[in-house]
Amino acid sequence: MDRLVVSASFKYCFKEIKHGKKFSMELAGRTLTVEVGRVAAQANGAAFMHYGDTVVLSTATASDKPRDGIDFFPLSVEYEEKQYAVGKIPGGFLKREARPSENAILTDRVIDRPMRPLFPKDYRNDVLLDNLVMSVDPDCSPELTAMLGSAIATCISDIPFDGPTASTMVGLIDGEFIINPTAAQKEVSEMSLTVASTREKVIMIEAGANEVPEDIMIEAIFKAHEVNKEIIAFIDTIVAECGKEKHEYEHHEIDQEMYEDMVSFITPEAMEEAVFTDEKQVREENIRGIEDKLAERYADNEEWLSQIGEAVYTFQKKTVRKMILKDKKRPDGRDITEIRHLAAEVDCLPRVHGSALFQRGQTQVMTVTTLGSLSEAQRLDGMDQDETSKRYMHHYNFPSYSVGETRPSRGPGRREIGHGALAERALIPVLPTEEEFPYAIRTVSEIMESNGSTSQGSICASSLSLMAAGVPVKAPVAGISVGLVTGDSDDDYLILTDIQGLEDFFGDMDFKVAGTDKGITAIQMDIKIHGLTDQIIREAIARTKEARTYILHDVMNPVIGEARDHVGKYAPKISQYTIDPEKISEVIGKQGKTINAIIDETGVKIDIDESGRVDILSEDQEMIDKAIGIIKSIVEPLNVGDIYEGEVVRIMQFGAFVQVSPNKDGLIHISKLAKDRVEKVEDVVNIGDRVAVKVLEIDKMGRINLKLEEKLS
């Protein structure tokens, strides 16, 4: 049975197939097809997604029973990149996919963020959203396909979920918005925006942009939301045909009698006093004191005793939200639009290439910049065959001591990778090109102290560190996060500038925006509610613009307003020289003998790529110039009449052979050693002598005849 449905803005097609059902719609000029029932029938929900030639299997699976002893929703998201999807065999000894790539981890996070708020808050069953990338069409994003697939698989499953959601990517080329841009369009786009929506509201925003003005970004967000509404209408048809009835689950609620007893015993006034402080450690100590009192009170009631942690959390949350929303009071006493105390400095570490320290309240970040040759760029072995290396790398480390904990370090987690990628995305638009600044660049943000918004602190610290290192950035970049507390209606809300940890923890939104004076370079929005109204989005972006301008002008610029015009004393100096690619083998020499000799003589580092670009690195500019001179002598022909410096390498009865470059020897005939008659060559020169010689002739066979001008040593 085939069925074609046409609406005012889109059309979709439904087909009965041998093993299941197939649904199709046209999305940004390409066909999106969803097959249900063809594969993975034992999952709670499965959508076999086709977007162009991109194929992703998205599944949603839930455990039969809740996990014991937890007070959170255990959702896991996986995005599995298979190299066969792009016709590649994995590198390495094992020849199979190993740990997930950074792109896969970031995709996990971008799928998770719009989905998580729509599951019941008291759902304790394990849920896994798995996305298997099986075929990749470069013009049809597998990441977007997986986002749509996870939403569809969950919606048609029996797992409780208040969806559907839909996601759209937007590019900006020559002032025009491009929906779900192709690979070629992404290369020239001024913006990479991903927006997820429910029917009524935007629920997730992720963006990187080349200083795009706020009004254009807002317009693009709402454009994506309109497209998402069309996709949701398409998903509704799939759910109507294939959706399962949602299963009942074991609700997890605090004993109401216990909660009321706790509130009357502790009192709202005491809880407000406990949380109303700008010192995180003091607040935590106050809460521990409350928990100790409750443990003593409920010592004989094991059931109530086990609920103390969650009950106190709920009591704190209600207290903080009431203080903010109704009383307009923030836990640390700040005004709603007030930013915590800010401080910045550069050159914190003596021998690194660049360093900076940025502090916002109890959030403190030190970023260190390291410069290297372009050969040190990170090699990428992912699904995007056009992106094989990364010249700028930003790494973010969040050690346990930054929050007063003792957890040992086991490498970066998904959160750290995500925060590092956000800062990297924010700074890339202002970095110089390879031609302008031929370095690979790495910044590492070490979180020294944390009380909210460390990712935005790392952007500010990194911008300062790059400028201190002499990286000629186009403009400094600052980041800020605003929060949200909502009431009973869409109009009952309060936006908070510069949220600290407690406000993030108990609030409804973490809206991070980074940019320059000119415009936005990155956005990341996380929320815990069912979406944001247009009004909230506009106000939040306006608030971040105001705060970002203040940070740039009043805090960062007075410390270092623009990049230094030179790299630091301990940073390598780089000079570039381009040679004919056919001459590369001459510079390298047999088994690397020639290039190694240059390195040994000058102490420089030399990188040559297949295009013929030669990068010479050293802390000593004089040695760089010397190495370039040697390379020039190898690749450039000798000119008759010019004078060159060389070394006597062989002596014969009739003259001396001088090496004027590693691949060019010439003969000084005995008659050209001096004006007067020379009886014996050794009377004038010996092996190892440095001499200045003039080229007299280069014969048809390429033999070089020289004349001694001066004995140098």
Q: Residue 567, Cα to own-chain centre: how many angstroms?
A: 25
Give me the half-sphere count of Cα atoms (radius 13 Å) on the Cβ side of residue 198. Answer: 20
DSSP letter for 341, please.
Answer: P
Q: For residue 137, give the DSSP letter.
A: B
Q: Which of 257, 253, 251 is nearest to 298 (CA)?
A: 257
Question: For residues 606 and 598, what is the distance between their CA atoms, to the nearest angstrom?
Answer: 9
Q: State both tokens at 183.
A: 């690979």
- Is 504 annotated among the ligand-binding residues? yes
Q: Helix/strand/coil (H, E, C) string of 337-354?
A: CCCCCEEEEECCCCCCCE
Residue 370, token pair as written in the block = 């390291």
Select from 527, 525, 542, 533 the least CA-distant residue to 456: 525
Report the relative pairing of strands 440-449 and 392-397 from DSSP bridges.
parallel
Dig out the tokens for 273 from the structure. Answer: 């006093």
Q: How many CA within 13 A on the CB side of residue 639?
A: 5
Alpha-carbon distance of 615 to 597, in angstroms, equals 16
* Residue 665 marked ligand-binding: no
Helix (H) or strand (E) run with residue 64 in it? strand 54-66
Burial environment of residue 389 by CB neighbours within 10 A (0 to 12, 13 to 18, 19 or more): exposed
Q: Is 503 left (phi over 0), alpha (psi -120 to 50) or beta?
A: alpha
Helix or strand or coil: residue 589? coil
The DSSP secondary-structure symbol of 403 reads: G
Which residue has 């942009």 as its token pair?
A: 209
Angle at 259 between CA 529 and CA 159, to 5 degrees: 40
CA count, 13 A, side-chain hemisphere, 461: 33
Beta-carbon contacts of residue 47 (< 8 Å; ≥ 6 apart): 34, 35, 36, 57, 58, 59, 149, 152, 153, 156, 238
Q: Distance between CA 494 and CA 484 in Å, rounded?
A: 6
Per DSSP bridges, beta strands 342-346 and 354-360 are antiparallel
Q: What distance in Å separates the CA atoms of residue 466 and residue 368, rounded to the nearest whole number?
A: 8
Please give the Cα distance from 352 to 416 (Å, whole number): 23
Beta pairing partners, 515: 478, 520
Please report the sign of the dihedral spanned by the C-alpha atoms of residue 548, residue 551, residue 556, residue 558. positive
Annotated binding site for Mg(2+): 504, 510
Q: Which residues are annotated binding-site positions? A: 504, 510
